[in-house]
Amino acid sequence: MGRYLLRRLWMTVATVVAVLLFLSALVHIIPGDPVQQVMGPRASPDFAEQVRDEMGLDDPAPVQVADFLSGAARGDLGRDFISGEPVTAIVAANLPHTLALALSALGIAAVLGIPLGVLAATRPDSLADKVLGLLSVAFVTMPSYVSGLLLLLVFPLTLGVLPATGAGDLGDPLDYARHLLLPASALAITWVGYLARVVRSSMLEVLGENYVRAARALGLRERMIAYRYALKNAIIPTVALLGVSLGDLLGGTVFVEMIFSRPGLGSLVVGAIEERNFPIVRGAVLVIVLMFVAANLLADLTYRYLDPRVRVDKEAAR
């Protein structure tokens, strides 16, 4: 475990450094003068010069990359091109909304997806299993923007329930939760299907194990066997999945935040791309990537902790 941990940490650090290099090089790859791109031809030469100077855009490229790296290490991600506010503060203000969205989506997916998977696995080849099989594929293939638009059409626009836009008041938990319900569900639908499929197949595997047969021979009720004994082992592979899923959840927040006009990192990135406000894009993308990397690391280590069989170093063969 120790050697694996070191290797895994070293790979993570190398990955983060590579990401940082890519992001700090962004501005140099953008065709044209970034200041002109943002301010348009109307910016007076003096003003453009001043902005360029403040941003350090006249420094040689390696100096700029080094500046960004040392700034990022100190938590300074530069300044907004347009308002001049620190990027770190803007990102920090948007981060909680995206985290709340992604985590509640994961919660909804777990609460719905896991029991559905168990249900299908305990009745293999029944009608319920077949219907659930079709439904889960339909859910898995449904992009979050389609589910978001459909939920928007059904609930706020047709039934007139639940708010259509905004994030609500952070100080009022009930109001905030009401605003969170539809966007989180839109994001969760894919993962309800995914979890149901993964839990089903790993439950089927576990239900064939000897200890389950022993439990049956002892006369335990099927429900008890499924939920108390089998699920405990069947749930382990989903932990490894959760790390990967957070990345897709974070990608999905881009669409969902846009559809429900929620503040957050996703809508921040899209808005900044439209304005070509690259310091914001760089900072927000960096934070999204860091969350993804951290989640992956955490899920991987938890998985290894929970299932001793995978602790053998398989990395070399990967």
Among 81, 229, 260, 292, interactor with another protein by CB under 8 A: 292
Q: Is 133 in the site for another protein (CB under 8 A)?
A: yes
Q: Is 26 in the site for another protein (CB under 8 A)?
A: yes
Which is nearer to another protein, 157 or 170 (by Cβ)? 157
Beta strands in 157-236 (DSSP E): none
Which is nearer to another protein, 5 or 177 (by Cβ)? 5
Yes or no: say if 111 and 192 are a contact pair by the CB < 8 Å rule. no
- Its sign, for the CA torsion 162, 164, 170, 172, is negative
Stretch of residues binding another protein (CB under 8 A), selected from 58-66, 76-84, 213-221, 278-286: 278-286
CA distances from residue 290 to 82, 162, 267, 287 in whole angstroms, order as listed = 25, 33, 18, 5
Q: What are phi and psi of 192, to 5 degrees?
A: -60, -50
Stretch of residues binding another protein (CB under 8 A), selected from 80-88, 166-174, 197-205, 305-313: 197-205
**Which of 311, 303, 188 is closest to 241 using CA atoms?**
303
| Least spacing, CB of residue 284 vs another protein, in Å | 9
Q: What are phi and psi of 82, to 5 degrees?
A: -100, -50
Q: Is 263 in the site for another protein (CB under 8 A)?
A: no
> In the Cβ-directed half-sphere of 50, how many Cα atoms lie within 13 Å?
7
Who's near 225: CB < 8 A, 6+ residues apart?
207, 212, 215, 216
Yes or no: say if 138 and 301 are a contact pair by the CB < 8 Å rule. no
Supply the DSSP symbol for 41: T
Stretch of residues binding another protein (CB under 8 A), selected from 91-99, 109-117, 144-152, 177-185: 144-152
| Least spacing, CB of residue 47 vs another protein, in Å | 24
Q: Is 259 in the site for another protein (CB under 8 A)?
A: yes
Q: Is 190 in the site for another protein (CB under 8 A)?
A: yes
Q: Is 115 in the site for another protein (CB under 8 A)?
A: no
Stretch of residues binding another protein (CB under 8 A), selected from 39-47, 116-124, 190-198, 223-231: 190-198
**Which of 95, 116, 140 is closest to 241 using CA atoms?**
140
Q: How far is CA 39 from its chain centroid? A: 32
Q: Is 136 in the site for another protein (CB under 8 A)?
A: no
Stretch of residues binding another protein (CB under 8 A), selected from 72-80, 87-95, 137-145, 304-312: 137-145
Q: With CB under 8 A as the rule, give the number of residues binding another protein.
A: 58
With H, G, I as helix, E, B as strand and everything else as coil, classify residue 79.
strand
**Which of 151, 183, 149, 150 is closest to 166 using CA atoms?**
183
Q: Is 201 in the site for another protein (CB under 8 A)?
A: yes
Q: Is 11 in the site for another protein (CB under 8 A)?
A: yes
Q: Which residues of this chain interact with another protein, rule CB under 8 A?
A: 11, 14-16, 18-19, 22-23, 26, 29-31, 130, 133-134, 137-138, 140-146, 149-150, 152-153, 157, 190, 194, 197-198, 201, 247-248, 250-252, 254-255, 258-259, 269-270, 273-274, 276, 278, 281, 285, 288-289, 292-293, 296, 317-318
